[in-house]
Amino acid sequence: MTRSPAGAVVTGAGRGLGRQLARLLLARGYQVLVTDVNPASAQEAADELGDGATALAVDVRDQAQVEAARDAIVSRAGRLDVWVNNAGVLVTGPAWEQDEAGRRLMLDVNALGTINGTVAAISAMRRTGGGHVVNIVSLAGLTAVAGEAVYAASKHAAIGFSLSTMADLRLAGVRDVDISCVCPDGIWTPMLHDKLDDPGSALSFSGKLLKAEEVVEAVRTVLDKPRLVTALPGRRGLAARLASLAPRLGLAAAPLVVARGRRTQKRLLADLRQRGAPKA
Ligand SMILES: NC(=O)c1ccc[n+]([C@@H]2O[C@H](COP(=O)([O-])OP(=O)(O)OC[C@H]3O[C@@H](n4cnc5c(N)ncnc54)[C@H](O)[C@@H]3O)[C@@H](O)[C@H]2O)c1
Protein backbone atom coordinates (compact mmCIF):
# COMPACT_ATOMS: atom_id res chain seq x y z
CA MET A 1 0.00 0.00 0.00
CA THR A 2 1.46 3.38 -0.94
CA ARG A 3 1.14 6.16 1.62
CA SER A 4 -0.08 9.60 0.74
CA PRO A 5 2.69 12.22 0.97
CA ALA A 6 3.18 13.88 4.37
CA GLY A 7 6.18 16.03 5.36
CA ALA A 8 9.40 16.99 3.58
CA VAL A 9 12.33 19.23 4.48
CA VAL A 10 14.83 20.88 2.14
CA THR A 11 17.95 22.57 3.53
CA GLY A 12 19.53 25.55 1.80
CA ALA A 13 16.22 26.07 0.00
CA GLY A 14 16.23 29.87 0.00
CA ARG A 15 17.59 30.01 -3.54
CA GLY A 16 19.28 28.01 -6.28
CA LEU A 17 18.69 24.29 -6.60
CA GLY A 18 17.16 23.97 -3.13
CA ARG A 19 14.26 26.28 -3.96
CA GLN A 20 13.49 24.22 -7.07
CA LEU A 21 13.66 20.98 -5.10
CA ALA A 22 11.17 22.40 -2.61
CA ARG A 23 8.89 23.19 -5.58
CA LEU A 24 9.20 19.60 -6.83
CA LEU A 25 8.22 18.19 -3.42
CA LEU A 26 5.26 20.54 -3.15
CA ALA A 27 4.09 19.47 -6.61
CA ARG A 28 4.28 15.86 -5.42
CA GLY A 29 1.89 16.68 -2.59
CA TYR A 30 4.24 17.06 0.39
CA GLN A 31 4.00 19.76 3.01
CA VAL A 32 7.43 21.30 2.71
CA LEU A 33 9.58 23.02 5.28
CA VAL A 34 11.75 25.45 3.34
CA THR A 35 14.87 25.98 5.44
CA ASP A 36 17.94 28.14 4.98
CA VAL A 37 20.62 29.80 7.08
CA ASN A 38 19.34 33.04 5.56
CA PRO A 39 15.88 33.57 7.13
CA ALA A 40 14.83 36.23 4.60
CA SER A 41 15.54 34.01 1.60
CA ALA A 42 13.78 31.02 3.23
CA GLN A 43 10.71 33.21 3.82
CA GLU A 44 10.81 34.65 0.30
CA ALA A 45 11.05 31.14 -1.16
CA ALA A 46 8.16 29.85 0.96
CA ASP A 47 6.03 32.88 -0.01
CA GLU A 48 6.80 32.29 -3.69
CA LEU A 49 6.08 28.57 -3.45
CA GLY A 50 2.74 29.20 -1.79
CA ASP A 51 0.32 26.78 -0.12
CA GLY A 52 1.99 23.89 1.63
CA ALA A 53 5.35 25.64 2.06
CA THR A 54 6.55 27.04 5.40
CA ALA A 55 9.85 28.76 6.12
CA LEU A 56 12.24 28.11 8.99
CA ALA A 57 15.72 29.50 9.58
CA VAL A 58 18.07 26.54 9.97
CA ASP A 59 21.84 26.51 10.02
CA VAL A 60 22.73 22.93 9.15
CA ARG A 61 25.93 23.21 11.18
CA ASP A 62 23.83 23.31 14.34
CA GLN A 63 22.36 19.93 15.31
CA ALA A 64 19.76 21.55 17.61
CA GLN A 65 18.40 23.73 14.76
CA VAL A 66 18.29 20.72 12.45
CA GLU A 67 16.37 18.70 15.04
CA ALA A 68 13.98 21.61 15.56
CA ALA A 69 13.22 21.53 11.81
CA ARG A 70 12.57 17.80 11.96
CA ASP A 71 10.25 18.20 14.94
CA ALA A 72 8.43 21.11 13.30
CA ILE A 73 7.59 19.14 10.15
CA VAL A 74 6.55 16.06 12.11
CA SER A 75 4.17 18.06 14.26
CA ARG A 76 2.77 19.86 11.21
CA ALA A 77 2.53 17.00 8.70
CA GLY A 78 2.32 14.04 11.08
CA ARG A 79 5.29 12.31 9.53
CA LEU A 80 8.63 13.02 7.83
CA ASP A 81 8.88 11.26 4.46
CA VAL A 82 11.66 13.08 2.63
CA TRP A 83 14.66 15.08 3.83
CA VAL A 84 16.89 16.74 1.24
CA ASN A 85 20.36 17.80 2.40
CA ASN A 86 20.99 20.46 -0.22
CA ALA A 87 22.72 23.30 1.70
CA GLY A 88 26.25 23.81 0.43
CA VAL A 89 29.06 26.33 0.12
CA LEU A 90 31.95 26.60 -2.30
CA VAL A 91 35.17 28.53 -1.64
CA THR A 92 37.64 27.99 -4.48
CA GLY A 93 41.42 27.99 -4.75
CA PRO A 94 44.22 25.75 -3.56
CA ALA A 95 43.81 24.79 0.11
CA TRP A 96 47.00 26.61 1.05
CA GLU A 97 45.57 29.88 -0.22
CA GLN A 98 42.38 29.56 1.83
CA ASP A 99 42.09 30.71 5.40
CA GLU A 100 41.11 28.32 8.14
CA ALA A 101 37.62 29.81 8.38
CA GLY A 102 36.91 29.09 4.70
CA ARG A 103 38.15 25.51 4.94
CA ARG A 104 36.16 24.90 8.11
CA LEU A 105 33.01 26.45 6.61
CA MET A 106 32.99 23.97 3.70
CA LEU A 107 33.58 20.96 5.92
CA ASP A 108 31.00 22.13 8.46
CA VAL A 109 28.23 22.92 5.97
CA ASN A 110 28.82 20.32 3.26
CA ALA A 111 29.95 17.36 5.37
CA LEU A 112 28.78 17.91 8.96
CA GLY A 113 25.54 19.57 7.77
CA THR A 114 24.74 16.50 5.68
CA ILE A 115 25.52 14.24 8.63
CA ASN A 116 23.38 16.34 11.00
CA GLY A 117 20.42 16.31 8.61
CA THR A 118 20.67 12.61 7.83
CA VAL A 119 20.91 11.57 11.48
CA ALA A 120 18.01 13.79 12.52
CA ALA A 121 15.84 12.58 9.63
CA ILE A 122 16.58 8.90 10.12
CA SER A 123 15.54 8.97 13.77
CA ALA A 124 12.09 10.33 12.85
CA MET A 125 11.71 8.08 9.81
CA ARG A 126 12.50 4.94 11.79
CA ARG A 127 9.70 5.78 14.23
CA THR A 128 7.07 6.46 11.59
CA GLY A 129 7.35 3.78 8.93
CA GLY A 130 10.39 4.84 6.93
CA GLY A 131 11.43 7.58 4.54
CA HIS A 132 14.03 8.80 2.11
CA VAL A 133 17.06 11.04 2.62
CA VAL A 134 18.37 12.65 -0.58
CA ASN A 135 21.85 14.10 -0.33
CA ILE A 136 22.89 16.62 -2.97
CA VAL A 137 26.58 15.94 -3.34
CA SER A 138 28.65 16.70 -6.48
CA LEU A 139 30.94 15.07 -9.01
CA ALA A 140 33.56 16.57 -6.68
CA GLY A 141 32.56 13.78 -4.28
CA LEU A 142 33.70 11.17 -6.80
CA THR A 143 37.06 12.41 -8.00
CA ALA A 144 39.86 14.96 -7.61
CA VAL A 145 38.96 18.57 -8.45
CA ALA A 146 41.83 20.99 -8.97
CA GLY A 147 40.93 24.38 -7.52
CA GLU A 148 38.25 22.91 -5.27
CA ALA A 149 40.27 20.58 -3.01
CA VAL A 150 38.56 21.28 0.31
CA TYR A 151 35.13 21.34 -1.35
CA ALA A 152 35.98 17.95 -2.89
CA ALA A 153 37.07 16.67 0.53
CA SER A 154 33.76 17.78 2.04
CA LYS A 155 31.77 16.11 -0.73
CA HIS A 156 33.81 12.87 -0.54
CA ALA A 157 32.97 12.90 3.18
CA ALA A 158 29.26 13.29 2.39
CA ILE A 159 29.30 10.28 0.05
CA GLY A 160 31.40 8.12 2.36
CA PHE A 161 29.07 8.93 5.24
CA SER A 162 25.91 8.27 3.21
CA LEU A 163 27.01 4.88 1.85
CA SER A 164 28.35 3.77 5.23
CA THR A 165 25.14 4.80 6.97
CA MET A 166 23.09 2.87 4.41
CA ALA A 167 25.21 -0.19 5.25
CA ASP A 168 24.60 0.42 8.98
CA LEU A 169 20.85 0.73 8.40
CA ARG A 170 20.66 -2.54 6.50
CA LEU A 171 22.89 -4.31 9.05
CA ALA A 172 20.50 -3.08 11.75
CA GLY A 173 17.60 -4.60 9.79
CA VAL A 174 16.16 -1.22 8.75
CA ARG A 175 14.82 -1.65 5.22
CA ASP A 176 12.34 1.20 4.97
CA VAL A 177 14.82 4.08 5.14
CA ASP A 178 16.85 4.92 2.02
CA ILE A 179 19.64 7.37 1.33
CA SER A 180 20.28 8.52 -2.24
CA CYS A 181 23.24 10.66 -3.27
CA VAL A 182 22.83 12.86 -6.34
CA CYS A 183 26.16 14.06 -7.75
CA PRO A 184 25.81 16.80 -10.36
CA ASP A 185 28.45 18.43 -12.52
CA GLY A 186 28.51 22.27 -12.48
CA ILE A 187 25.00 23.79 -12.32
CA TRP A 188 24.17 27.34 -13.37
CA THR A 189 22.93 28.57 -9.97
CA PRO A 190 23.98 31.54 -7.81
CA MET A 191 26.81 29.34 -6.47
CA LEU A 192 28.59 29.81 -9.83
CA HIS A 193 27.17 33.19 -10.90
CA ASP A 194 30.10 35.19 -9.54
CA LYS A 195 32.73 32.64 -10.52
CA LEU A 196 33.18 33.38 -14.22
CA ASP A 197 36.31 35.39 -13.43
CA ASP A 198 37.62 32.83 -10.95
CA PRO A 199 40.26 30.39 -12.30
CA GLY A 200 39.87 28.29 -9.12
CA SER A 201 36.41 27.16 -10.21
CA ALA A 202 37.39 26.30 -13.82
CA LEU A 203 36.66 22.61 -13.33
CA SER A 204 33.03 23.39 -12.50
CA PHE A 205 32.80 24.85 -16.02
CA SER A 206 34.68 22.08 -17.83
CA GLY A 207 31.53 20.19 -18.89
CA LYS A 208 28.23 21.46 -20.24
CA LEU A 209 26.73 23.46 -17.36
CA LEU A 210 23.60 21.80 -16.04
CA LYS A 211 20.33 23.65 -15.55
CA ALA A 212 18.82 23.30 -12.08
CA GLU A 213 15.80 21.66 -13.74
CA GLU A 214 17.98 18.78 -14.95
CA VAL A 215 19.08 18.08 -11.39
CA VAL A 216 15.48 18.38 -10.20
CA GLU A 217 14.58 15.74 -12.79
CA ALA A 218 17.28 13.41 -11.43
CA VAL A 219 15.91 13.90 -7.91
CA ARG A 220 12.41 13.15 -9.18
CA THR A 221 13.74 9.86 -10.55
CA VAL A 222 15.42 8.82 -7.28
CA LEU A 223 12.33 9.79 -5.29
CA ASP A 224 10.46 7.18 -7.36
CA LYS A 225 13.28 4.66 -7.11
CA PRO A 226 16.00 5.23 -4.49
CA ARG A 227 19.51 4.88 -5.85
CA LEU A 228 22.73 5.01 -3.84
CA VAL A 229 24.70 7.22 -6.22
CA THR A 230 23.46 9.06 -9.30
CA ALA A 231 26.09 11.01 -11.26
CA LEU A 232 24.89 13.72 -13.58
CA PRO A 233 25.38 13.73 -16.53
CA GLY A 234 26.21 10.02 -16.63
CA ARG A 235 29.08 10.44 -19.11
CA ARG A 236 30.87 12.92 -16.84
CA GLY A 237 30.20 10.65 -13.87
CA LEU A 238 31.93 7.83 -15.73
CA ALA A 239 34.90 10.09 -16.53
CA ALA A 240 35.10 11.13 -12.85
CA ARG A 241 35.06 7.52 -11.70
CA LEU A 242 37.72 6.50 -14.26
CA ALA A 243 39.92 9.41 -13.14
CA SER A 244 39.56 8.11 -9.58
CA LEU A 245 40.39 4.55 -10.57
CA ALA A 246 43.52 5.76 -12.40
CA PRO A 247 44.59 8.83 -10.38
CA ARG A 248 47.80 9.34 -12.38
CA LEU A 249 45.77 9.64 -15.57
CA GLY A 250 43.39 12.02 -13.82
CA LEU A 251 46.34 14.12 -12.69
CA ALA A 252 47.81 14.16 -16.20
CA ALA A 253 44.47 15.22 -17.69
CA ALA A 254 43.90 18.03 -15.13
CA PRO A 255 45.64 20.83 -17.11
CA LEU A 256 43.56 20.04 -20.20
CA VAL A 257 40.32 19.91 -18.24
CA VAL A 258 41.11 23.14 -16.40
CA ALA A 259 41.97 24.84 -19.72
CA ARG A 260 38.63 23.73 -21.16
CA GLY A 261 36.81 25.12 -18.12
CA ARG A 262 38.67 28.46 -18.41
CA ARG A 263 37.67 28.74 -22.07
CA THR A 264 34.01 28.21 -21.15
CA GLN A 265 34.24 30.76 -18.32
CA LYS A 266 35.73 33.36 -20.67
CA ARG A 267 33.15 32.66 -23.37
CA LEU A 268 30.26 32.96 -20.91
CA LEU A 269 31.70 36.15 -19.46
CA ALA A 270 32.14 37.65 -22.93
CA ASP A 271 28.56 36.65 -23.87
CA LEU A 272 27.16 38.24 -20.73
CA ARG A 273 29.16 41.45 -21.21
CA GLN A 274 28.12 41.67 -24.83
CA ARG A 275 24.46 41.27 -23.94
CA GLY A 276 24.85 43.49 -20.87
CA ALA A 277 22.54 40.91 -19.30
CA PRO A 278 22.31 39.94 -15.65
CA LYS A 279 24.24 36.77 -14.91
CA ALA A 280 21.33 34.61 -13.77
N1 LIG B 1 26.12 24.95 -8.47
C2 LIG B 1 26.92 23.93 -8.78
O3 LIG B 1 27.71 23.98 -9.72
C4 LIG B 1 26.84 22.66 -7.99
C5 LIG B 1 27.39 21.48 -8.55
C6 LIG B 1 27.31 20.29 -7.84
C7 LIG B 1 26.72 20.28 -6.59
N8 LIG B 1 26.20 21.42 -6.07
C9 LIG B 1 25.59 21.34 -4.76
O10 LIG B 1 24.23 21.63 -4.88
C11 LIG B 1 23.74 22.16 -3.63
C12 LIG B 1 22.95 23.44 -3.91
O13 LIG B 1 23.84 24.40 -4.41
P14 LIG B 1 23.40 25.64 -5.32
O15 LIG B 1 24.15 25.53 -6.56
O16 LIG B 1 21.92 25.78 -5.35
O17 LIG B 1 24.07 26.80 -4.45
P18 LIG B 1 23.52 28.19 -3.91
O19 LIG B 1 24.71 28.88 -3.35
O20 LIG B 1 22.71 28.87 -4.93
O21 LIG B 1 22.53 27.75 -2.72
C22 LIG B 1 23.02 27.19 -1.52
C23 LIG B 1 22.05 27.52 -0.40
O24 LIG B 1 22.59 26.95 0.81
C25 LIG B 1 22.39 27.90 1.85
N26 LIG B 1 23.35 27.67 2.94
C27 LIG B 1 24.66 27.98 2.99
N28 LIG B 1 25.16 27.69 4.20
C29 LIG B 1 24.16 27.15 4.91
C30 LIG B 1 24.05 26.66 6.24
N31 LIG B 1 25.09 26.68 7.10
N32 LIG B 1 22.85 26.16 6.66
C33 LIG B 1 21.78 26.18 5.83
N34 LIG B 1 21.81 26.67 4.58
C35 LIG B 1 22.99 27.14 4.13
C36 LIG B 1 22.59 29.24 1.18
O37 LIG B 1 22.04 30.30 1.96
C38 LIG B 1 21.91 29.03 -0.16
O39 LIG B 1 20.53 29.37 -0.08
C40 LIG B 1 24.98 22.37 -2.76
O41 LIG B 1 25.12 21.29 -1.87
C42 LIG B 1 26.11 22.36 -3.77
O43 LIG B 1 27.34 21.98 -3.18
C44 LIG B 1 26.23 22.61 -6.75
Q: How confident is the model at residue 225, as a pLDDT?
A: 98
Q: In ligand 1, which atom is closest to the CA atom of 14?
A: 39
Ligand 1: residue of 17, 136, 268 to mutate (most ligand atoms within 8 A of CB) is 17
* 3-state class (DSSP) for residue 188: coil
The pLDDT assigned to 1 comes to: 52
Contact of 65 with 73, CB cutoff 8 Å: no
Q: What's phi and psi for 5, nearest 5 deg?
A: -60, 140
User: What pLDDT score was predicted for residue 121?
Assistant: 98
| Ligand 1 neighbourhood includes 9 CB (under 6 angstroms) | no
Q: Is the CB of 88 under 6 A from ligand 1?
A: yes
Using the atom order of ligand 1, give the atom closest to the CA of residue 186. 3
The atom number, within ligand 1, closest to the CA of 15 reads: 39
Please work out whether the CB of residue 115 comes within 6 Å of at least one atom of ligand 1. Answer: no
Q: Is the bond into 278 cis (omega within 30 degrees of 0)?
A: no
CB 183 within 8 A of CB 137: yes
pLDDT for position 43: 98
Distance CA 29, CA 257 (A): 42
**Is the beta carbon of 106 within 6 A of some atom in ligand 1?**
no
The one-letter code for the residue type at 163 is: L
58: Cα separation from own chain's centroid:
16
Structure confidence at residue 228 (pLDDT)? 98
Pick the CATH number of 7-275 from 3.30.300.30, 3.40.630.30, 3.40.50.720, 3.40.50.300: 3.40.50.720
Q: Does residue 45 line the site of ligand 1, with CB under 6 A?
A: no
* Candidates 26, 30, 134, 151; catalytic one: 151
Four-CA torsion 236, 253, 103, 197, nearest 10 degrees: -80
Rounded CA gap, 130 and 31, in Å?
Answer: 17
pTM over 0.85: yes
Per-10-residue mean pLDDT of the chain, 280 residues long, equals 89 98 98 98 98 98 98 98 98 97 98 98 96 98 97 98 98 98 96 93 95 98 98 96 94 94 95 73
Active site residue 30: no
Q: Coil, helix or strand for 110? A: helix
Lateral strand order in the sheet of 31-36: 53-57, 31-36, 7-10, 80-85, 131-136, 177-184, 229-232
